[in-house]
Structures are given as C-alpha cells and as structure tokens.
Structure 1
C-alpha cells in the first residue's frame, strides 16, 4: 500500500509556513506508506525539504481562461503529464497546505472515496446552478453537495476528478462570472474550484463518503485527535489559528504543558516543532 499526500505551494511565506506544519505532522506520525508530494514554483520548491517529492509546476492562473484565479493550481497540478507518476500510488489525499495529519492517519484506509465537509452551497439558486452546469456538460449529478476541499481515494480516480474539475472551473469563471464576482454566501466566483470539484466527483465517483470528522476537521477543536486523521485550519483566530501562527503570535509559547492528544494542542505542538524543520524567512 502506497499513499501520496499532494499539495501545491507557490512563493508565499504564509503558504510555506503552513506546509511546514503538514510536513512536520507527517514526520511526527511516522507513516511508513505515505509520501508528501509538493507541486510548486521553482522558487517555492527551493524552500521545501529534500525528503519530499518535489515537482516543478508552471502555475495555471495566467492564461485567460482562468482569469488570474490562483486557486486553480491546487487541482490543476494533478492533471498534466508531470503528475502521471501519481497513478503508481494506491491512494491520493489531495489537500491544502494549511492542514495536519494525526496518528489516526496510519490506520485510515476508507472503502470509499472520502471528502470533508464543505460549506459553499447555502441556497437553492446555487444548487440549481450546479446541476445546470452538470447538465450542460452531460454529466450526472447525484445530489451530493458541500464537498470539502480535500479528496481522498483511488489515485487514478482523484486525478480524473481533478482533470474534469479544471475544465469545469474554466467554464464557470468565463461563463458564469464574466460580468461579476457574485456574492457570498450565495453564488460566488471565489469558490469556483469547489463548485467544479463537486460536479466532477458527482459524475465520476459512484460512492462518495462525506465525512467531516475524518477529513478537514477543524484545528481549533478541543476534541481528542483519535478519530480525526486529517485536520484543516479554518478561518478563526481561536487557537489553533493559522493566522495567529503565521503572524508569529505563538512563537514564544512553550510546548511543555501541551496535551498532544487534544486537537488544538496537537496542532500548536506540531506548528512550533515545524520551526526546527522548515525554515522560512
């Protein structure tokens, strides 16, 4: 069994600091079957440790079809020939840099394609739009909404979802939002990749497990880490907060009294330890 945790980074201090936490969490849990695969710009990859698998990737946000929508790179990096080697893995976890793995990852081999819990579908207009776009491409939509940004499953299937989602994202950006941004929490350009990944997964994946406890669980929780293999930093200033961490607010804290069996303490512990592994100016 071989697994790949796949992320994209560019030359951005906050992103690289966050990646350091993910890297350090993988080191901490000592997973024997998991590689960290980092797609990124050449400058960013110079700062990534050499025991990661590093793949230089030319960002896709410049072509006109993506209209400087930089989030496309998080899925687009899995689509080209440079990513074909990923199909040598059994599982891919396609995720964001601001995440952590916990020891529960070492026994997390779900039977079905598993995603976290998203929150981008909040009204009937958005639901109707997503099904309309699926119909435009002659794709099935099984009615699964609010899929999280992290996808975990068969390597080839995750890549197929990303390939189709990249095409759909271009359509959404150029057709649906050609005249404006829309408005959150309704139909909104800023989550175009989330819309596209939902449509692609509903088409390709026969059985989708939506499990917000296993995938993309919040880093500020006071729950035990035991049932949460993958943690995600949401938009909060509560500990653990990626914003507070990248701003240096935790730098003078001690790890001595942290309880690493609790999610927020675990994340803080890993983040502080990452300063020793992952040096970013």
Structure 2
C-alpha cells in the first residue's frame, strides 16, 4: 500500500504544476504574438471601409506633398500622374467622403492655375467639393538670414502667417545646417503646416512620384487616432544597432522597429508629432554622427546600406517613431504591405487581393520606371491598351501616360466633373 501511495501523491502535485506551466507558456506566447501583430498584422486588422468612431458620415482626408517649383521641368510630370491617379481614385470613393490634394510650394505657378488649384485656402467644411489646394511655403534653402539684423525670412506671404506654426530657432538651425539636404522640406511641411491640415480626419503624407489606387478610395485606418507608416529600405544590422545607441545618447527611448517608411497615413496630430521630432533627430545626427566628407556626399554610396547621409530623413524618422511609440504611447503601425508598393509588379490580382493603397516609384529601370518614362521610352504605348490589365505595373503606366496626353486644363476639368456629382 505504501508503495502505491507515494507515486499517486507525486502525480497529484505534478499535474497542477504542469497545468500552471502550460498556462504561463500560452500567455507568454499570446503576448509575444500580439506584440508582433502591433507591427506586422495583416492589412484588414487596421483598415475599415467605414468607421463608427467618426462624428459624421463624412470622412475628410488630404494627400500632402512638397513640390519644388524651381525644378518644375523635372517634377511636373510626377504631379500630373499623381493628380490623374487622385481623380481616378475618386470614381470609387463614397460621395460623402472628401479627399483634397494639398501641395506646399513657393509659387502659384501657371501650371497650378491651369489645374484649377486654389491658393492659401483651408477647407471650410465637409461639404465643400474635393479641391487641389496650394499653400505657399518658403523652403528651407531660401530662408535667408540677414547678416546685420540676424532676422530670417520665413514666409512667402507675410499676410498668411497663420497658415504655419514655425519654430523660429529650429528654422534657423535647419537653414544653417540642412538647407542643402534634398528631403528636408518633405518633413518640415508636416511640422510647420499643421494649421493647414488639422481639420482633416486623416492625411496621407507622401512624395510626388506616387500613384493613388482605387483601393485607397474605400479604406481608412481602423483607429481614428492612429497612423500607418509605409516601407523604408534603409535598415541593416549595423545601422539598427547604431541608431539604438544614438537614441540612448539623446535620452530617447527605442522600440527597435526597423525600415520605417516616409509615407504616413492617419492622424494629423501624430504625423505632426513625428515630423517635429524627426527634425530634431536630423539636427542631432548632422552634428554628431556624420563627418564633413559624408555630409558633403564625397563618399557617394560607399558606406551604403550601413550608413549613408542621403537617407538622413529616414534615420530621423526611425528615431522619432521608435521614441514616440514608448514615450507618448502613440499608435503607429507599419503598413508596408499597403503603402509604398512597387510600380513594377505584373500580378493581375495583387492590387485588389492585398489592398495596395499607394504605389511608389523606386529606383529601377524595369516597367514602370519613372526614369524610363521621362526619357520617353514608353511613348509608343497607348494607354487604351492597358485598360484590361489590372496590375500595379499597368495601372502606373496608364495613369502616367494618360496624364501626359491630357492638358492641365483637361485634368482640372476631370476634377470638376467628379466634384459636381458629390453629396451637398
């Protein structure tokens, strides 16, 4: 009897112990899985066709870009195809939704007048038709500092100061240190231009060499106070470790999320917070992490992909987002299967199946290549031949070719035609 009792008692103790171990292991596994989902969950976790969190059936969105007017010969074709894809998207958008195209640039050029863009006008209400809106913005490289008074010129139109919230000491530092950095204004418009876009429920901060797809017409971030970020291509083991060390040097927190893209879709407030800290991080990196030869691009791409001055804004965004995720508990999520998608994908089902919202021209010679387009290599293709091809490659090609065949006035009339069919 004594021999059988001991194992029985042992089993009585072992079984509850194993149950506890299993429960703890399951909990830890679920927590780890959920933590991963916070960054890498499928698209449908973050996007809905409608949202009950908004206060009305109207959804107000804006696409925000910086446009260098002094380089119009090079960039006008990109504005044309962005504009063309924007109005194509609106064919599929709810009549109660409003998506404006906002362009920050120094001059209300004839091109924008021909497109029918309005200048320095903030959206007044949700029933206004969709508009192309120009806000006159003085780029960093042109914010000269008077050597006598030390006063910096900040505005294109001093009568419209209320359109921008300018941190004057930081503006001065940006001019002194980063005026030659090519991508500084794409970040600064979000940091300073908040009064022009705070009205919207959601904004899409992006570059001009992009296409808006019809999927964008139906999807908004799942959470009203969240932000989706696109795909970046700058991360390596070396710079991930280096950026974590830099965050410690700055007394910033660091979540360890790599490859954060330059395209952001979501809350205007969160976008502004990220942009503001990105500028601070860029100034720190400039002063502490790059030698003069690197800043002057004398090394070219010799150190790429481990460390490269050309992606300074990406490093700054990396530091800002990783810090804000912890320090302010901001809801920022990587959506690198939705935003910044390739224009070279020939898959007929990819756009629809994977909810691709936004295509971005990368540095490639494959179709669709912005470089080949600008060289006229696709001029023999008629966009009509692409109507039955639903791939990202064909969509980008068709939008670009159509935008080139249409006059600016015709593009503007297309917008007015769509706007006239909107709910009042």
Alignment correspondent of 1:5 = 63
Is 1:249 paired with 2:377?
A: yes
Look up the match of 2:304: 184
The yes-or-no answer on 1:53 pairing with 2:145 is: no
Decide which of 13, 16, 19 is 2:79's aligned counterpart.
Answer: 19
Q: After the TM superposition, which residues 66-105 of structure 1 pair with which residues of structure 2 at under 5 Å, given as runs?
A: 66-80=178-192, 82-105=193-216
The alignment's TM-score, normalised by the length of structure 1, stands at: 0.91
- Are 2:419 and 1:264 equivalent residues in the alignment? no
CA distance in 1, matches of 2:187, 2:202: 16
**Normalised TM-score (structure 2):** 0.62
Please list the CA deviations of residues 52-89 of structure 1 after superposition, one character each: whole Å capped at 9, or x if unmatched. 11011111146222151021111111222x44121111
CA separation in 1, counterparts of 2:107 and 2:284? 29
The residue aligned with 2:265 is: 152
Let me know the Cα RMSD of the aligned residues.
1.9
Query: Contact 1:37 / 1:53 at 8 angstroms: preserved in 2?
Result: yes
Q: Secondary structure at the match of 2:63?
A: strand
Greater fraction of residues in helix: 2
Supply the distance in 2 between the matched residues of 1:101 and 1:116 (Cα, whole angstroms).
14
Deviating more after overlay: 262-271 vs 103-112: 103-112
- Report the CA distance between 1:134 and its aligned residue: 2.1
CA distance in 2, matches of 1:195, 1:46: 36
Number of matched residues? 276
1:173 to 2:286 alignment: yes
Aligned-partner Cα distance in 2 for 1:176–1:67: 18
List per-residue Cα deviations over 1:172-215 (Å, max 9, x = no partner): 12321133326211111000000111111122244432222210
CA 1:122 to 1:278, structure 2 compared with 1: closer, same or farther past 3 Å?
A: farther
Moved more, 254-263 or 154-163: 254-263
Question: Which structure has the bigger radius of gyration?
Answer: 2
CA distance in 2 between partners of 1:28 and 1:93 (Å): 17
1:207-252 Cα offsets, whole Å, 9 max, x none, are: 4322222100001111232121111001111111111112222223
**Secondary structure at the counterpart of residue 177 of structure 1:** coil
1:84-117 CA-partner distances (Å, limit 9, x unpaired): 1211111111100010011100122122421122
- Aligned residue number for residue 21 of structure 2: none
Alpha-carbon separation, structure 1, partners of 2:236 and 2:104: 32
CA distance, structure 2, for counterparts of residue 180 and residue 156 of structure 1: 36
